[in-house]
């Protein structure tokens, strides 16, 4: 695939990157609303779809405290992505 590790976007609230293996990473640093979560997920998903030889694989990292604030939105969104979209989507709650 020939990708090098690269950042797609970085704000005070989140970071989006694709690693050298073509896996997309979203790191949520501060609480974000559901609309923002959907927008950054879409941006990364469409970027990963540019490589038809691999199914999109995304990992969303969120701290335990932020996850507790956003738990309903994160859980429902992750369930939707896993059940309705092509690819692998992991939600990783970090301590």
Q: What is the pLDDT of residues 72-93, one digit of tens each?
A: 788 888 888 889 888 999 999 9
The pLDDT score that the predictor gives to residue 20 is: 87
Distance between terminal CA atoms of the chain?
Answer: 33
For the chain, how many structural domains are there in total? 1
Quick check: is 1 in a domain?
A: no
H-run or E-run covering 16:
strand 14-18
Residues 17-72: pLDDT tens digits? 999 899 999 999 999 988 999 999 999 999 999 988 889 999 999 998 888 887 77
Higher pLDDT, 71 or 2: 71
pLDDT of residue 13: 94
Burial (CB < 10 A; 0-12, 13-18, 19+), residue 19, is middle
Per the structure, the complete domain to which residue 42 belongs is given by: 6-94
Pick the residue with more confidence: 52 or 14? Answer: 14
pTM: predicted TM-score of the whole model, two decimal places: 0.85
pLDDT value of position 5 = 65
36, part of any domain: yes
């Amino acid at each position: 695939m020939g990708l090098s590790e690269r950042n797609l976007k970085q704000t005070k609230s989140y970071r989006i990157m694709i690693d050298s293996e073509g896996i997309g990473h979203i790191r949520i640093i501060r609480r974000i609303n559901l609309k923002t979560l959907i927008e950054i997920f879409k941006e990364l998903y469409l970027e990963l779809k540019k490589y038809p030889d691999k199914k999109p694989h995304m990992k969303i990292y969120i701290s335990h405290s932020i996850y507790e604030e956003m738990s309903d939105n994160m859980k429902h969104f992750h369930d939707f992505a896993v059940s309705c979209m092509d690819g692998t989507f992991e939600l990783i709650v970090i301590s």
